[in-house]
């Protein structure tokens, strides 16, 4: 596939939708309040396809997964537009322009820039070295974001373990720590926390969940070291790389500047307000348009200024980002009813769930379980607003948030930790997860299936850990 394919996919969809938005209008009706639960069946269908088809129809899936994604998108979009007409067109266009395209641009920019950074030298994949890389990645996740840290470090850890037979567990723990839990300490770490920051939660407030994050990280790092030591003893030592050390050398260092500019642009978009523009009926903020333009520019500069040999050293290809672009196009469309019902709160089909959430334990598990399968950013925002309404009814948002961050610390901490931590429960729980799986498989690692990941790793390890965290902290 050509490297421009990732751009053509969303742009073609956008060009098809934009003319229709001229006849669309923003919904004045809370569609989530009138939708029955069966509207989420296409979303369930695409999730089951991602989970089961690679297992039972691997050849078909490998060659036709974009068509499968498009199929489920149409299964939702056709009846959705038939029953809700212009409102449905608006909702589909809105989620593509406001959520999907910026999401893909950010992933593409980080993927492209990090792919131009080549860490050369001896990195033998021993338990100690692997654990150290995971520790560094866990720290970096709160500084440059879970996506940035994941894409930056996944290739070095894959190369250091290329000689090993048992390495899938390393990628899984990488997803646990670097792609999820490590991003819990700042709004730059994970999108849900950034949403909280935009709604008035102070930048460093998330340090309140440092004890929970430190405990989870320490347990997982210790468990990983034990597990990796067990597998390491089973490796054939003759397959190990030459013990003669080679100095560590970083090539493509100009990409660190591009990475810093990307992070600055993301922070800029959340802190500066420059007004809005109307694009075919969809209101888009000027600061977000500037951010997206800067991200695209940084990716292009990285492609132009990075030597080809550097990307070749990283075994760089466009396949992982293309897979994410195609599959998440379908996911973003089919997720519309699920998010609408959830946002409807006590007026929606999941009213029983919203009403039953009261204690920090409830918030931790309700936010976490839904974040495992839905987008954790809107899930966080739903329960964040639910907490504001429960504890400060009728109070303006600014005053309610000011009270929540002081008087109800355990509740907001539970929402924050649930959204960030439990994104690791499935491959689709957080944006980097699926990409790490794709990059690892591109490098020849046999990764567990969707359900294999859950039943072999996340349920026996993470869910048990989260139960312990509940008793200790919530």
Q: Supply the DSSP string of 312-343, one letter for each residue.
A: HHTT--SHHHHHHHHHHHHHHHHTHHHHHHHH
Q: What pLDDT was estimated at residue 125?
A: 77
Query: What pLDDT does 236 receive?
Result: 66
Query: H or E element: which one contains 120?
Result: strand 118-120
Nearest to 421 by CA among 455, 458, 457, 395: 458
What tens digit of pLDDT does each residue of 259-269 get? Answer: 889 888 888 88
Confidence of residue 3 (pLDDT cuts 50, 70, 90): very low
Average pLDDT, integer, range 391-414: 83
Q: CA 399 → CA 141, 353, 395, 407, distances in Å?
A: 31, 26, 6, 12
Question: Of the given ranges (140-149, 221-230, 234-243, 333-342), which has the lowest mean pLDDT?
Answer: 234-243
9: pLDDT strictly greater than 70: no
Mean pLDDT throughout 445-457?
90
Contact assessment for residue 415 and residue 367, using Cβ atoms and an 8 Å cutoff: yes
pLDDT for 203 equals 78
Please identify which residue in the block is written with the tokens 């080549």: 118
Question: In which residue are the tokens 């936010």 written?
Answer: 367
Instruction: Report how far residue 388's alpha carbon sits from residue 354's, in angstroms, rounded to the nearest whole number.
Output: 13
Residue 7: pLDDT band (50, 70, 90) is: very low
- At 240 the pLDDT is 58
Is residue 452 predicted with pLDDT exceeding 70?
yes
Stretch among 9-13, 118-122, 153-157 having the lowest mean pLDDT: 9-13
Q: What is the mean pLDDT of the chain?
A: 83
Neighbours of 435 (CB within 10 A): 25
What is the per-residue pLDDT for 172? Answer: 96
Mean pLDDT of 220-243: 80
Count CB atoms within 10 A of the CB of residue 47.
20
Torsion region of 126: left, alpha or beta (phi above 0 gives left; psi -120 to 50 gives alpha): beta
More confident residue, 128 or 192: 128
What is the DSSP secondary structure assignment for residue 207, as one 8-state letter?
A: G
- Which of 9-23, 307-321, 340-354, 384-398 has the least mean pLDDT? 9-23
- How far apart (Å, rounded) are the C-alpha atoms in residues 291 and 155? 27
CA–CA dist 96, 18 (Å, integer): 10
């Amino acid at each position: 596939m050509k490297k421009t394919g990732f751009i053509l996919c969303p742009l073609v969809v956008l060009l098809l939708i934009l003319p229709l938005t001229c006849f669309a209008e923003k919904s004045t009706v809370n569609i989530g309040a009138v939708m029955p639960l069966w509207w989420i069946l296409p979303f369930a269908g695409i999730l089951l396809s991602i989970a089961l088809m690679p297992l039972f129809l691997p050849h078909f899936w490998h060659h036709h997964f974009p068509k499968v994604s498009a199929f489920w998108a149409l299964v939702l979009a056709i009846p959705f537009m038939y029953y809700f007409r212009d409102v449905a067109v608006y909702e589909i266009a809105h989620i593509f322009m406001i959520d999907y395209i910026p999401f893909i641009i950010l992933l593409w920019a980080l993927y492209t820039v990090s792919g131009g950074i080549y860490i050369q030298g001896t990195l033998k994949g021993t338990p100690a070295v692997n654990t150290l890389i995971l520790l560094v990645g866990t720290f970096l996740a709160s500084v440059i974001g879970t996506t940035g840290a994941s894409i930056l470090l996944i290739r070095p850890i894959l190369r250091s373990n290329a000689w090993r037979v048992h390495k899938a567990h390393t990628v899984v723990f990488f997803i646990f720590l670097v792609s999820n839990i490590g991003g819990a300490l700042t709004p730059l770490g994970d999108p849900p926390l950034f949403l909280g920051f935009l709604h008035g939660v102070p930048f460093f407030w998330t340090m309140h969940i440092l004890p929970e994050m430190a405990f989870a990280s320490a347990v997982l790092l210790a468990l990983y070291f034990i597990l990796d030591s067990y597998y390491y003893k089973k490796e054939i030592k003759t397959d190990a790389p030459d013990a003669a050390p080679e100095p560590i050398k970083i090539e493509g260092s100009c990409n660190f500047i591009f990475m810093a500019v990307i992070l600055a642009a993301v922070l800029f978009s959340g802190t500066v307000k420059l007004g809005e523009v109307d694009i075919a009926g969809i209101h888009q903020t000027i600061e977000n348009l500037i951010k997206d333009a800067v991200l695209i520019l940084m990716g292009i500069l990285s492609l132009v200024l990075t030597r080809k040999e550097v990307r070749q050293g990283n075994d760089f290809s466009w396949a992982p980002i293309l897979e994410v672009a195609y599959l998440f196009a379908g996911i973003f469309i089919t997720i519309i009813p699920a998010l609408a019902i959830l946002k409807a709160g006590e007026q929606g089909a999941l009213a029983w769930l919203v009403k039953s959430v009261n204690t920090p334990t409830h918030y931790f598990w309700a936010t976490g379980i839904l974040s495992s399968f839905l987008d954790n950013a809107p899930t966080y925002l739903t329960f964040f607003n639910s907490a504001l309404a429960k504890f400060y009814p009728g109070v303006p948002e600014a005053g309610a948030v000011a009270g929540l961050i002081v008087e109800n610390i355990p509740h907001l901490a539970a929402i924050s930790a649930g959204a960030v931590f439990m994104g690791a429960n499935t491959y689709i729980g957080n944006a980097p997860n699926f990409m790490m799986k794709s990059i690892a498989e591109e490098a020849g690692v046999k990764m567990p299936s969707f359900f294999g990941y859950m039943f072999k790793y996340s349920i026996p390890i993470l869910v048990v850990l989260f139960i312990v965290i509940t008793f200790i902290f919530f």
